[in-house]
A and B are shown apart, each in its own frame.
Chain A
């Protein structure tokens, strides 16, 4: 599998990842190399093999639906880049 610059741009957009113009060539080459490398998996016959999500085939543990954590908003917001009146601030979304 070989990607082109346009495909890398699309992936970077999906991941909301800024990539500098002069980095595209390297990423295009690196990502193509990695995808070619992992494509050897295609040669393996996996028909009828169940995908493995957990090594011991454990399933998700459930707990009673009860409040177990206390409110720690102030503590969490102390490390936020920008907050006001208990809210996280981002640039204006709706004009």
Chain B
């Protein structure tokens, strides 16, 4: 078995036993990126030299007996996390020239753990998109079928791990941006509870929804990465001051007696029959492992997408006002006055989807419309959260599909924003409620991966990872590697 086929535990064991050094491991993945990424476009900035230097430092650290489970393990970092001295573009022309002057908390935690950053991954511009087609650096291709999208917004991070260009990657999820690409690329992705991972230095899209998380090829690997990323941070005003559990300790727990709820709204019209069948087959496997299945209802979940498309644009229009061509980022040529400087820098620096969302948000927040849009959406948001709270009185976790279908074709939805927005129909409610959610591969439908979504109660990441891990002990969908990358 070559290095790219091993899990994190095996890689760490290999490093400890001296079978290979972190420098060799890092070169192995850098070579895979060199060889394959021209097909996928998953990486915006490769940091090969810094990675090799970090790998050598990790090798030394391991020799000194100072290692953590991720010391010397390579990973790819979504280009939304500030990385000191490295371009942090957020997929936008606006930040194409932006070298972050400081590290995001997540970047720093991974650095402190000795993880080796190989580079920064492609993404939808400012994380706004569900297909990775809005990136200034061009679309990412799905490794299962290069005519199809990898999902978004963390499309580069998902495609790269699916093609085994890195064993781990980071992502962010505002409305499904970790879970949906994980599903479309056939890998494991987890978005923890809102406030679990620090947002400091993570370029803001919609601050009341944004949350960072992890991609890996298995739940066990994702648990290791998430544990390092998580924790209280006084620099993030919405960070939750609560100790981080050792997620790996939950993995082996027995599932007997676990109550799983299936929301009927997630299995209605609009769900692809093949994906639905794959999710049902996975449910049967969990039943065999001792879980009890219950039908539940989330009556307001149909309102999640419209509520989201008020809340998220409103918050983005406010957050992105900092991109003004004055202190950092893109500035237009020869501005004739201050107004012209703002208008042209922003007009030329932002792409179409970002402009659409800024305009929707500006409209929703403008004088006379605030109550009708933002306030109303925040009220609906409470109804959505209360549905989940009621459901969790009866069940331990909620299960359904991650996305309504498998990966769609490049260009298929790019001219129709509303149809694109509906590809996040099952993931968005989870962000509005601030709950943890994950996606686990559960089948191959016509050659494309299908994803199973697990939703937990607040801070129940350990249980989600436990259920996913137990499912992965009796299934091998997560071990499938797309043809051409094995």
List A residues at the B interface (Cβ < 8 Å). Answer: 3, 8, 11-12, 14-20, 23, 26-27, 30-31, 33-35, 37-42, 44, 46, 49-56, 58, 60-61, 63, 72, 75-76, 78-82, 88, 90-93
CB distance from A73 to the nearest CB of B (A): 11
* Residues on A with beta carbons closer than 8 Å to the beta carbon of B356: 27, 30-31, 34
In the complex, the answer to whether B327 meets A18 with C-beta atoms within 8 Å is: no
Kindly state whether residue B359 has any CB partner on chain A within 8 Å: yes
Tell whether A80 pairs with B355 under 8 Å between CB atoms, given A14-B362, A46-B380.
no
A19 to B468, CA, bound (A): 46
Query: Which residues of B are interface residues toward A (Cβ below 8 A)?
Result: 97-99, 101, 194-195, 208, 234, 237-238, 240-241, 300, 303, 305-307, 309-310, 317, 324-331, 335-344, 346-348, 350, 352, 355-356, 358-360, 362-363, 366, 372-373, 375-383, 385, 417-418, 421, 432-435, 458
Residues A35 and B360 in contact, CB atoms below 8 Å apart: yes
In the assembly, what is the distance between CA of A90 and CA of B326, in Å? Answer: 7
Q: Are B309 and A38 in contact (CB under 8 A)?
A: yes
Q: Taking each of A18, A31, A38, A82, which has the highest tally of chain B beta carbons within 10 Å of its own beta carbon? A: A38
Q: When the two chains form the complex, which single residue of A41, A61, A76 contacts B307, counting CB atoms closer than 8 Å? A: A41
Residues of B within 8 A of A63 (CB): 234
Contact across chains for B310 and A38 when beta carbons are under 8 A apart: yes
A75 to B348: give the CA distance in the assembly, Å: 26
CB <8 Å contact, B208 and A53? yes
Q: How far is the CB of B348 from chain A (nearest CB, A)?
A: 7
Q: Can you pick out 13 interface pairs between chain A and chain B where the beta carbons lie within 8 Å of each other?
A: A17-B346, A26-B352, A35-B363, A37-B421, A38-B306, A44-B383, A51-B381, A52-B378, A54-B434, A55-B435, A61-B234, A63-B234, A82-B331
Residues of B within 8 A of A81 (CB): 325-326, 328-331
Q: List A contacts of B234 (CB < 8 A).
A: 61, 63
Cross-chain contact of B327 among A26, A42, A44, A76 (Cβ < 8 A):
A76
